[in-house]
């Protein structure tokens, strides 16, 4: 009997130790994931881990084309613009006006990216079609201020601030379109729920996710094969501590369901980072005029590269209808 009691006590102690160790490991892993998602200075991670997070395979020709186009755009003359966001964060943008402009685009780049890297491929098309462009540098990245990124939760207000700047520069005489890719797409789509000026005629989102919670849940479960479940409560607490808003507090679905601003959604069917189903969810939620352009075979952010002709036709049709 004594041995039985001792064995049971030993087993209970070992189980408790294992649970404690697992809890500590889970907390550390979750904290690491939140730092990777939000912090300006991310924790170190090997390239293999970054690819696992993105769920993508290398597309060497695509990345070569993006790099070359980005370098070309970065080398073009532009006016560096500095504003102060509504919460006091300094923001930097790059203004490239064109003669006889027909519209203005406010372009928001993606997560841990750059304005010239994400828009280098499409920049010439925009300019040839009469678009003056304000390329924003997202908060928590590059030259803009802020210690954290907000996955659209904070950046939606930055979109509003950039539109105000554009209107002060142009006299609000031109139609304005918000456009973004990946996290930038989520930022502009979430901005649809704000009180935007009347000359904002449309919003275009390329491969955006529906909410921070939704994309993190997808990455954890499908790309990293880590159960998100109970971990989400810890994520909620860590995120709120950093940016004072939770990953489930707002979504593109919330914004689009209460907005009448025309929306163009773009997504590749083979997106391994943001599932194309998220754009279908956004499309279903839209209360205003809406269009969707889906590119077969395109991975994350590759729709313009894969089907340039179709992408350009969709953009021109959108402008023609809503200018």
Nearest to 142 by CA among 187, 80, 215, 203: 80
pLDDT score recorded for residue 313: 98
Q: Each residue of 114-129: pLDDT tens digit?
A: 999 999 999 999 999 9
The edge-to-edge listing of strands for the beta sheet with 290-295 is 79-84, 90-96, 131-137, 103-108, 176-181, 200-206, 263-268, 290-295
pLDDT band at 224, cuts 50/70/90?
A: confident
- pTM, rounded to two decimals: 0.90
pLDDT score recorded for residue 155: 98
Q: How far apart are CA 298 and CA 47, in angstroms?
A: 22
Q: Each residue of 248-259: pLDDT tens digit?
A: 999 999 999 999
Q: Would you say the C-alpha torsion 219, 303, 260, 113 has a positive or negative sign?
A: positive
pLDDT score recorded for residue 319: 98
> How many angstroms from the chain centroid is the CA of residue 263?
16
Indicate the range of 75-79, 224-228, 276-280, 294-298 predicted with least confidence: 224-228
Instruction: Check residue 265 and report its DSSP letter.
Output: E
Q: How far apart are CA 92 and CA 30, in angstroms?
A: 31
The count of other CB atoms within 10 Å of the CB of residue 171 is 8
CA dihedral 81, 86, 87, 90 (to 10 degrees): 10
Q: Each residue of 141-168: pLDDT tens digit?
A: 999 999 999 999 999 999 999 999 999 9
Q: How far apart are CA 104 and CA 172, in angstroms?
A: 10
Q: Each residue of 39-72: pLDDT tens digit?
A: 999 888 655 555 556 555 668 999 999 999 999 9
Query: Which CATH fold would you assign to the domain 62-211+250-322?
Result: Rossmann fold (3.40.50)
Please identify which residue in the block is written with the tokens 């924790």: 43
């Amino acid at each position: 009997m004594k041995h039985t009691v001792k064995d049971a006590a030993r087993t209970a102690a070992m189980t408790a130790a294992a649970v404690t160790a697992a809890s500590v490991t889970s907390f550390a892993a979750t904290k690491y994931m939140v730092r990777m998602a939000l912090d300006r200075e991310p924790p170190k991670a090997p390239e293999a881990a970054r690819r696992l997070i993105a769920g993508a395979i290398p597309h060497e020709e695509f990345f070569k084309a993006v790099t070359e186009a980005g370098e070309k755009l970065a080398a073009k003359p532009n006016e560096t613009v500095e504003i102060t966001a509504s919460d006091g964060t300094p923001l930097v943008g790059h203004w490239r006006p064109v003669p006889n402009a027909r519209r203005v685009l406010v372009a928001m780049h993606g997560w841990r990216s750059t304005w010239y890297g994400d828009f280098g491929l499409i920049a010439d098309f925009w300019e040839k079609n009469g678009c003056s462009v304000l390329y924003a540098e997202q908060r928590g990245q590059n030259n803009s201020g802020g210690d954290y990124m907000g996955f659209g939760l904070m950046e939606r207000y930055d979109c509003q601030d950039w539109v105000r700047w554009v209107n002060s520069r142009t006299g609000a005489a031109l139609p304005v379109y918000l456009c973004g890719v990946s996290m930038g797409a989520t930022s502009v789509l979430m901005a649809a729920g704000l009180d935007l000026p009347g000359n904002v005629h449309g919003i275009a989102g390329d491969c955006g996710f529906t909410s921070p919670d939704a994309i993190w849940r997808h990455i954890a479960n499908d790309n990293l094969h880590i159960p998100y479940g109970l971990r989400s409560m810890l994520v909620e607490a860590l995120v709120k501590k950093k940016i004072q808003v939770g990953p489930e507090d707002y979504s593109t679905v919330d914004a689009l369901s209460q907005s009448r601003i025309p929306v163009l959604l773009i997504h590749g069917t083979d997106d391994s980072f943001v599932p194309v189903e998220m754009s279908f969810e956004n499309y279903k939620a839209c209360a205003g005029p809406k269009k969707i352009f889906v590119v077969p075979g395109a991975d994350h952010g590759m729709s313009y590269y894969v089907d340039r002709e179709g992408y350009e036709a969709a953009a021109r049709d959108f402008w023609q209808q809503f200018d």
